[in-house]
Each structure stands twice: as C-alpha cells, then as structure tokens.
Structure 1
C-alpha cells in the first residue's frame, strides 16, 4: 500500500477584496508585458463583483466538505497566483512533518496551464523551500470519471428544466492557443466528457464553445467563442426552427471563477437577452457530494494495493504519472485565466 501524509488542494487563486485585484492580476501576467491600462480594464471585471473572485471561497468550502466526509488525510490549500501561495503552503507542510503528499488540482482536463504548469509550480516551490520539502504525486485528471459525469449531468438537467422545449445545450471551457491544443488532449477530453454527460441526459444534440480568450489576435485559439456561438443560433423559423433558449454549461470549470461570473453570467447572458434567447447558466461541480466522493476515489486509487480506476467511455482512466512530453506549452504563451485578457 502506498503511504501518504497529506493531500494538497492546488488551484489558481483569486482576489478576495478590491485591494487584492491589481496585485493579483500582476501576479497572473508577470513576464507578459501586459500594458497597465489593460490590467485596469480587466480589474473592472472584478470590481463589478466587489473585487472578489469566488474561487478561493469555493475551494475552502470543498476542503471543509472533504473534512466533514471523514477524509483520511490532513488537507492543505495552496494557489498559483494568490494567498495562500503554494510556496508558503509547502513551507507549512514541511514544518508539520509532511514527507509525501498527494495533489488534487482543480482542473478536470489535461492542458499546459491546467496540468503541466501546476507540476512546474510544485517543483519551483519545493526548490524555494529547500531540503526537507515534501515529495508530491499528482492525482490524475478526471474528465471521464463517473462521479464528475453524474454531477455535470445533474447540472444540465437542472438548467434544462428552466428552459422551453427545443433549447440548446452548449458546453464551454477556457480557450487555449491552437498550438498548445495540438500538444495535449484538452479538446478531445472536453468532447469526450460532453458526450458522456449528454448521453446521461439523453440528449441527441449538444455543442462545444470556448470562452475567456486572451493574447494577441493574430494567434489562433480554439473556437467558436461563446458569444459568436450565441449569435449563430437560428432566431427565426426555418428548416430547423428558431432556438428558444440555451443552457450554457461551464464544463471546463470545476468551480465558479471570475470567468464564469463575468464572461457567462454577465456578458453571455446580456447578449442572449438582446438576441431574445432564454438563458440559463448551469452550475459547476463545486462542493456537490459526488465531487467529494470523486476525490475520495482518486485518493483510494493511489493508496490501495488493488486499485480499481473509475472511468467512462473508450479512453479509460488517464495516466497517473505524466510522460515527459505531456501537455507542452506549444506555440505562444499559455492562457491567463480569471479574465486577465
């Protein structure tokens, strides 16, 4: 049996008050030469919601739900871009005597920024902490895990129940540069996950769109953008008839981010209203009990003498140990989530 001393929940981070917004965005965009006026523009997205991203609060709620569920390991919380910073968390783990830990990254899909970069973050933080820092094993991505599929199927059904018959379902995820997408399974996994969820909902039709694009316009990113998708829906009687409404499902986000709030709940919703479309944004997995069970099962896989990895679809469970060339950055810079566009 593999022994571990703790679980590290590792995430992106987000500001928790107006004074945090600009320092947070400066951390996210460090080394990108983003003009100051652009940061101020993006900062307004946060100030529209009181300067608070929901991501830290949702991660703390997930940790509390895990503890209340009888989780077998101590749980630590670290972020890439805001407090609690990963290096500080690993320093605390070292002081607490943690020698070997599992890592749950709050991303269900494989990509540079959603997987490999987090592994790079851990390596840099351990180097900064110095001798005696714990060793870490990352839990696999879970886009086709039956618990994740069940959670998201429930969210889709809840959204459709609020919409007229004939409404469309569109899954969304953070766009990434096409050069980066060619070096990972991100888009394939998104389509597999959406297909599994749609099947669980008995949907014969669904679509995939992207959101939160950043970077120079000459660099091609995954498309269509969610706003362009909404504009493309039929609004008058024709061969297929007018689409009366749309359920937007933020599949690529495990919990609410500022991107979900601003890009979907604000921008996409307002556009849908202008177009005369009924609009419902489905919930994220968040702290759903099935999400808590999912993390339990991923830990059991890594600690059991006879693990039974759970996965739906033909691709099976993803690898536990990432290959050397897995999720390379590819062409262009990695995306800067949380609306640091």
Structure 2
C-alpha cells in the first residue's frame, strides 16, 4: 500500500498525442540515472558537466580522481544501467532505453532518437526510489523540457519507495549480509544485542528543499517497511545520511559518520549499513561507504558491513516491471 509520502501514481503527461495512439507500437520505457565517467580521462569533463559548465577546482578534481583511482578508474554505474535495461527488456513487451542526466548517453540526445524510432509516449523511471525536488525533481524537469522539444509524451514515475519487490529485495540484502558475516543469531531483537542496522541515503541541503518535500518522509517509510519485514524494533535501527558538504551543517542528518561514537558508547560492536537510497553501485557507495565509512567505524572499535545493492538482480527488475505493468494496464 502506498505510504504517506508516496508519489508513485503522480503522473506527468504532456498533451502531445491523442488517446487513440496509446498502443504498444508507439510506447517505450526510459530508465534515467545520474551517469558516471568510464575512465580517468573522462573525470574532468564529467565534473564540468555536473557543475553546469563550470570547471572544477584543482582540489576537487584531484579528490575526485583519487576516488575513481581507488575504484579501478571508472564508475560501474553506466554498465549496470545498461544491463538493467537489457534485463527489463526481456520481461516486458516494450522497447527499453536508458539515459543519463550528466553523462553519456545524455538524456538530451536519447529522447530525440526515440521519436525517430516512432515512439510517441514513454514511461520515464528514475533509478532513485525516493522523490525530492532537488534530486528526482531535476530529472523530471529536464525530461519534460526535452519531451516538449521533440513532441514526445511522458508519464513520469516520481517515486517507488514502497513497492513490495523493492522492500523485499532490501530485506533479503540485509539477511544476505548477516549470513555472510555470521551475524544472523546475533541480530535477534534483544535489548543487549551488540548489533545495529543503519539505513542511509544521500544527504541534501535543507535550504534547497521546498516546504513539504517528501524525501525524508519517504526514506523513513522505506526504512520502517524493511525493518518491519526483518522483525526489528525501532531501537534496533537508525536512518542516517551520507555525503553532506563540509561539516554537514544545514544538511539532512544525522550523518553516518556522526553515529559511530554514540553506537560505540551504547555497546554496539557490529553495524550493518543498508544504503536504501541507492539501487545501483556507484562511487558514493563504493568509496564513501565501503572505504571511508568503514575506516571511521573501525576507529571507534566497530565492525562494519554493507548490504549489497539491488543492481541488475531480480528485485530491481521485478520492481521496474511492476511499474511498467501498472502503466500498461
């Protein structure tokens, strides 16, 4: 059942085509993602595009290059999105395409190609489950702008954070993480348990969020659903954020890094990180959580494990397929 912050049914459909052409010969699916560099050479232009055409400072460029060097020189996101599109294509009867907001294949270039293939209406799904005006809202605005330019009608899914397949996929990823580390029995709902589950998502600046922005509420709803599926009481889990700029002041919190002293003081020894705000491997997860957060946690005597993301596995494909089925019904 949709939660209080659910916007899954909130559809944006520019009146470009008439109802008589709503058939499978003119419909398509478009998956949207952030994008990422495919090599170290692509990092400078990627950052420039990310910054709206402004070149990065030498410090930012070096920090970002160091991050991608630690990850093998490239972002895994573009390749994963391509595989997700391919797998979704096999389970639905519509053509499936993908586009990036900040890197190739660019949204601005992909959408005009769809009209050349006689696609007249698309279902656009951002690979970010939770809506915020300054995250998914940016995808929505740009998608509609380009759609108007190329006379393409768009139905835009703004959020899908309560879908059963998504929630169950997260719960199973937590269980898989516990099994891998031999923590199943230790994570029982006991007052003195030394284990804690931390759900986390990308932080956003509060000043950029409009009144009643549903982002934080939707994250809480997802966390509550997953914790409920795992049978965890409220004191057994926490929702936190990562990647706030500078000190984090004025950003959504608490920050993941702020939790370590408190958890250690409570006698917690093992922490499971579940990045429920991300479904595809990317630098923010592989570097900021797997490397930086792990090092910080260990400095406080904590053992840290991260749940695997859904990536191109059945949980994400089934989630996307359910959105397509609902749209096509």
TM over 0.5: yes
Query: Are 1:108 and 2:126 an aligned pair?
Result: no
* Alignment partner, residue 160 of structure 1: 178
The TM-score with structure 2 as length reference comes to 0.83
What is the alpha-carbon distance in structure 2 between the residues aligned to residue 144 and residue 227 of structure 1? 27
Query: Are 1:139 and 2:170 an aligned pair?
Result: no
* Alignment partner, residue 189 of structure 1: 218
* Alignment partner, residue 209 of structure 1: 240
* Alignment partner, residue 327 of structure 2: 302
Report the CA distance between 1:43 and its aligned residue: 2.6
Query: Are 1:220 and 2:255 an aligned pair?
Result: no
Indicate the larger mover: 103-112 or 281-290: 281-290
Cα pair 2:264 2:302 within 8 Å, conserved: no
Q: Secondary structure at the match of 2:264?
A: coil
Q: Deviations over 1:198-231 (max 9, x none)?
A: 01011112101100113x6586001111111123
Q: What pairs up with 1:2-151 in 2 under 5 angstroms?
A: 2-3=22-23, 5-30=27-52, 35-68=57-90, 70-126=91-147, 130=149, 132-151=150-169
Report the CA distance between 1:182 and its aligned residue: 5.1
Moved over 4 A (4+): 31-34, 216-219
* Alignment partner, residue 9 of structure 2: none
1:263 alignment partner, one of 263, 269, 288: 288
Q: Secondary structure at the match of 2:135?
A: helix
What is the alpha-carbon distance in structure 1 between the residues aligned to residue 124 and residue 285 of structure 2? 24
What is the alpha-carbon distance in structure 2 between the residues aligned to residue 56 and residue 145 of structure 1? 24
1:278 alignment partner, one of 294, 303, 306: 303
Cα pair 1:163 1:279 within 8 Å, conserved: no
1:246 alignment partner, one of 268, 271, 276: 271
The 1:139/1:246 distance shift into structure 2, 3 A limit, reads same
What is the alpha-carbon distance in structure 2 between the residues aligned to residue 100 and residue 77 of structure 1? 15
Unaligned ranges ≥5, structure 1: 305-341
Report the CA distance between 1:247 and its aligned residue: 0.3
The 1:223/1:116 distance shift into structure 2, 3 A limit, reads same
Query: Number of matched residues?
Result: 294
Report the CA distance between 1:51 and its aligned residue: 2.4
* Alignment partner, residue 338 of structure 1: none
* Alignment partner, residue 180 of structure 1: 208
What is the alpha-carbon distance in structure 1 between the residues aligned to residue 40 and residue 53 of structure 2? 23
Report the CA distance between 1:265 and its aligned residue: 0.5
Report the CA distance between 1:114 and its aligned residue: 2.8
Report the CA distance between 1:124 and its aligned residue: 3.4
Report the CA distance between 1:32 and its aligned residue: 6.5
Decide which structure has greater helix share. Answer: 2
1:169 alignment partner, one of 197, 201, 206: 197
The TM-score with structure 1 as length reference comes to 0.81
